Structure 1
Amino acid sequence: MPIISRFRGIILRMYMRQKEHNPPHIHAQYGETVGLFSLENGEMFEGDLDKKMKSFVTNFILYYREQLIEMWEKQEFTTLQPIE
């Protein structure tokens, strides 16, 4: 699973598309906690990340939304820089 970005101890990954991997989303890992986040609205729909980490991931997704959706659709992954 390609790593899309790393920041504040969070690792963001995107799986190669498979039938069971819809809707478009990204996987976030922070220590032993994980979360699955929608690329449409940046909300966590599964997982146990705390509120602060969820906020960082949501802001990242909303900032890079177009690029992330394009990666999902084309299955061409690049590393994105952390946002300030």
Structure 2
Amino acid sequence: MASYQLSKHIRVSITGREHNPPHVHVYFGGKVARVCIQDGSLLSGDPMPARVSATVLTYIAKNKIALLQTWKTLNPQLRNENS
């Protein structure tokens, strides 16, 4: 698992043995959401407040290539599906 602390109350994680599409798990205020790395869309979970969403989407945009590489490393079983 790779985990990134974006602020005191926002953490983003990528885990192994996952499913497509490539996504991050966002933990905030005791809640969790799954956000697509490719386009920043909310895939499931709790809606994020505007401040949390802005922080997460900015982080994903700035780090998309690295996040996708981490996804591929942690999920080699999906390598051909999300290249």
Query: Is the TM-score greater than 0.5?
Result: yes
TM-score, length basis structure 2: 0.76
Counterpart of 1:15 in structure 2 is: 15
TM-score, length basis structure 1: 0.75
Q: Which amino acid aligns with 1:50?
A: P
C-alpha contact 1:43 1:58 (8 A) present in aligned 2: no
Please report how far the alpha carbon of residue 46 of structure 1 lies from its aligned counterpart in structure 2 after TM superposition.
1.5
Counterpart of 1:45 in structure 2 is: 43
Moved over 3 A (4+): none
SS at match of 1:40: coil
Q: CA RMSD in A?
A: 1.7
Using the aligned pairs only, state the percent identity: 25
SS at match of 1:62: helix
For structure 2, the 5+ residue unaligned runs are 76-83
Q: Which amino acid aligns with 1:45?
A: L
Q: Larger Rg: 1 or 2?
A: 2
Counterpart of 2:78 in structure 1 is: none
Count of residues paired in the alignment? 73
SS at match of 2:60: helix
Q: How far apart, in 2, do the equivalents of 1:29 and 1:57 lie?
A: 10
